[in-house]
């Protein structure tokens, strides 16, 4: 019995110390699943999906597939490994993962992950509940804003401050001020043009006295909305992010040429 045990230990020692650093690194890479994961990611995901988009006559995928032999993948993974771990550390890792405990560790990763998830299941359920409630709030808010923008307001063309009034803990209501802060009479110049990306925009320049008023209003109403109404509809509702000192505004959006012309004509006096 002692002889058998001695021979077994001797064979283990020969196997453990008789391999080169490269062989031990390769063994670790395979044992820890890096090789299988990388090969699957390259062939089963990236290259496979790429085949659905490239021209059939493009042979670069085939060249890549031929290039990525098992030895090539192992070589690249080993290079990455050797830049992190010294030879002594690789020896220690190799010895550990060839022990019974190490083998159990590498084979039990999925079980460990599942057990960890089981012990946090109540936390994940609470997170999901918060996410679902938040998503519902966002959906309701989106529906409310859509209805708000679709509403016809019995108000003359102009620029109206928007106030947000809380109905309850969950609901808020947007309301336009009774009278416009600015009307077409406050505008000195309005014209359509194009931005740097070629999109249609409207440039507005206010009269001197109105420009001063614009500066005061925007300074006092940071983070509030300013609804621009044309033909009883809100065409744009930007949020005031800072004071506007120069009396100049720019309206942008997904407008057609005809819509831009109509807006300019309605706001031009």
Using CB atoms within 10 A of its CB, is residue 106 exposed (0-12), middle (13-18) or buried (19+)? middle
pLDDT bin (cut points 50, 70, 90) of residue 269 is low
pLDDT, mean of residues 31-40: 91
Beta carbons of 42 and 70 less than 8 angstroms apart: no
pLDDT computed for residue 14 by the predictor: 38
Q: Which long-range contacts (CB under 8 A, 24 or more apart) does 184-187 make?
A: 184/157, 184/158, 184/266, 184/267, 184/268, 184/269, 185/269, 186/210, 186/213, 187/267, 187/268, 187/269
User: The pTM is what?
Assistant: 0.54
* Percent of all residues in the chain with a pLDDT value above 90, rounded to a whole number: 47
Angle at 246 between CA 240 and CA 252, to 5 degrees: 50
**pLDDT (tens digit per residue) in 233-245:** 998 898 898 999 9
Residue among 65, 88, 70, 68 at smallest CA distance from 26:
70
């Amino acid at each position: 019995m002692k002889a058998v045990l001695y021979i077994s230990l001797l064979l283990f020692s020969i196997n453990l110390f008789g391999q080169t650093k490269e062989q031990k690194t390769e063994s670790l890479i395979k044992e820890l699943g890096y090789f299988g994961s990388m090969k699957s990611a390259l062939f089963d995901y990236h290259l496979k999906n790429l085949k659905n988009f490239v021209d059939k006559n493009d042979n670069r995928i085939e060249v890549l597939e031929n290039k990525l032999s098992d030895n090539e993948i192992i070589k690249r993974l080993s290079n990455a490994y050797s830049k992190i771990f010294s030879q002594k550390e690789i020896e220690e890792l190799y010895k550990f993962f060839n022990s019974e405990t190490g083998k159990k560790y590498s084979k039990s990763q999925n079980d460990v992950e599942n057990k960890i998830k089981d012990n946090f299941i109540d936390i994940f359920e609470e997170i999901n509940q918060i996410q679902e409630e938040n998503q519902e709030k966002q959906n309701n808010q989106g529906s409310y804003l859509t209805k708000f923008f679709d509403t016809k307001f019995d108000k003359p063309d102009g620029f109206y401050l928007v106030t947000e009034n809380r109905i309850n803990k969950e609901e808020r209501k947007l309301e336009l001020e009774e009278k416009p802060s600015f009307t077409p009479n406050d505008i000195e110049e309005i014209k359509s043009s194009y931005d740097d990306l070629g999109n249609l925009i409207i440039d507005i320049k206010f009269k001197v006295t109105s420009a001063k008023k614009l500066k005061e209003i925007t300074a006092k109403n940071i983070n509030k909305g300013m609804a621009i109404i044309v033909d009883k509809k809100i065409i744009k509702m930007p949020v005031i992010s800072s004071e506007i000192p120069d009396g100049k505004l720019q309206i942008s959006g997904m407008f057609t040429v005809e819509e831009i012309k109509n807006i300019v004509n309605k706001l031009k006096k």
